[in-house]
Amino acid sequence: MTGQITAAQFHAADGVEDWRCLYHLVSAYFPTGSLTKGVALVDEIGRLADEAQQQHLAVDLRGTGVTVSLTRRDVSLARRISSAAKELGIPADPTAVQLVNVTLDALAGADVLPFWRALLGYRQIGDDYLSDPSRRGPGFGLQPMDEARPQRNRMHLDIAVPHDQAEARIAAALAAGGHLVSDAHAPRWWVLADAEGNEACVATWLGHE
């Protein structure tokens, strides 16, 4: 597939069972158990990416595993990476991927975004989002609010999780002392809060086209 596709179209494709859509990306995690096996997998991923002339993938190599992120349209490359991992005897763990964004509620986003752009050293994408050029840190977004809320936190985390892991993640957070603030937008996102009312959103690709 060469054009942009929806998350549903990606998940309907054959051979991408290892991958999960997280916002605009698809990610897979391959637990290697050793740096040596991880390097071997990364070498193969590099070869496949060169063959596909793909410059937009992100690979995170750790001693315990390798996380790979692609765009949704890279179905063929995702399929080939999964095949390479299987040949190396490295099964994927689809439950272990997520994408975290920090979101700030702001009355006048245009006034505060330059501060955060300079402070973080990020680049601006659109009118309300900042991205780490090195692709290591979380994204930083602004969410407009109609009036000041001095008694409520104005910064929260957005955690994108695999669509088939959202219920388990939410249940774990509730069991750990949190509570559900709103499920009005589920399954796109749920709003949770800790015991003191500090909020976070759990999001999936479901409902996004």
Q: In which residue ranges of the chain is CATH 3.30.1360.20 found?
A: 7-88
CATH of segment(s) 7-88: 3.30.1360.20
Q: Which residue has the higher pLDDT, 200 or 150?
A: 200
Report the amino acid identity of residue 177: G
Report the amino acid identity of residue 49: A
pLDDT at 196: 75
Helix (H, G, I), strand (E, B) or coil at 28: strand
Q: In which residue ranges of the chain is CATH 3.10.180.10 found?
A: 99-203
Give pLDDT tens digits for 47-62.
999 998 887 899 999 9
| Integer Cα distance of 69 and 71 in angstroms | 7
Contact 82, 15 (CB under 8 A): yes
66-75, 86-95, 102-111: least confident range: 102-111
Is the full-model pTM beyond 0.75? yes
pLDDT at 106: 86
Domain 99-203 part of CATH 3.40.50.880: no
